[in-house]
Amino acid sequence: MIYNERQKEKSMDMREFPLDELSRRCAEETKNFLRHVPHDTEYCYELFRRALAEKDSEALDQIYLNYLPQMRRWVSNHSRFPISGEIDEYFAHHAFQQFFFALLGEKFNNFPNLSSVLAYLKSCVHTTVTQYVRDNRIPPLLLDDMDIPVISDLNADIEAEWLWKHICNLLIDANDQLLAQCVFVLEMRPREVAKQYPRIWVDAHQVSVRLHQIRRTLAKDPRLRNRLNGDSEDS
């Protein structure tokens, strides 16, 4: 209780701190943190509070200055960054934009301390890289010198909905629909499917046999072939 009162008093004092002094102390405490010596998180937290809860442009500038390099290091350290083909700065900017709008104004109150703020900042780096890789995944080239098909993403959501409905019409059996979902939507391999649904398919071979049948059915359908080749007149 006494501790809480002291903390509250300290927070009140900190709100009176000049911005330059606050930034200086935040930078010092960050260095202490990186050196693994005792450090005080309140200065940096107050800087974030002013920048985001109070929408103080100069405090935001200090946050940007202090944390953008760290965000770029997080991007470089993300396991999916190397396959994205993008630059670290691009993801750091997008992650910062995401973070800024998620915590601006009253929403900042959902984050009671520096560690929750920084965890969210870091999680924005993760989602920015992950979503990018999800949206722009380059199909694996299974053999040398293969050409990647030209793919249009115009009206992608509508297209996906039409395709899926059409596939469900072609595959009457519910298990076939489930298998198509596993393979074409979730990109699971036969052994993963068998592991997830052992009551339906006993092993990967059984999955493969059924999957071959499904592929033949789909490939034979002229409407599906036309649609995949970009002809949408039968929508």
Which one of residues 7, 97, 226, 235 is an interface residue with other proteins (CB under 8 A)?
97
The smaller minimum CB distance to other proteins, of residues 30 and 128, is found at 128
The smaller minimum CB distance to other proteins, of residues 13 and 20, is found at 20
**H-helix segments, the chain:** 2-14, 19-34, 42-48, 57-77, 81-84, 88-103, 114-135, 156-170, 174-180, 190-196, 204-220, 222-228
- Position 166 contacts other proteins (CB under 8 A): no
Which one of residues 83, 174, 185, 202 is an interface residue with other proteins (CB under 8 A)?
185
Residues 188-227 that bind other proteins (CB under 8 A): 188-192, 196, 204, 208, 211-212, 215-216, 218-219, 225
**Which span (7-15, 38-46, 153-161, 169-177) binds other proteins, by CB under 8 A?**
153-161
Distances (CA, A) of 223 to 158, 164, 226: 16, 13, 5
- Position 115 contacts other proteins (CB under 8 A): no
**Which span (11-19, 23-31, 39-47, 49-57) binds other proteins, by CB under 8 A?**
49-57
The smaller minimum CB distance to other proteins, of residues 1 and 143, is found at 143
Site track for other proteins across 5-44, x = CB under 8 A: ----------------------------------------
**41: helix, strand or coil:** coil
Rg of the chain over all Cα atoms, to the nearest angstrom: 26
- Position 123 contacts other proteins (CB under 8 A): yes
Distances (CA, A) of 204 to 183, 189, 197: 12, 8, 10
In whole angstroms, what is the distance from residue 185 CA to residue 179 CA? 10
Cβ 212 to other proteins, closest distance in Å?
Answer: 5
The smaller minimum CB distance to other proteins, of residues 18 and 139, is found at 139
Cβ 190 to other proteins, closest distance in Å?
Answer: 6
In whole angstroms, what is the distance from residue 176 CA to residue 88 CA? 42
Please say whether the dihedral angle defined by the alpha carbons of residues 210, 216, 221 and 225, taken in this order, is positive or negative: positive
80: CB partners within 8 A, 6+ apart? 129, 130, 133
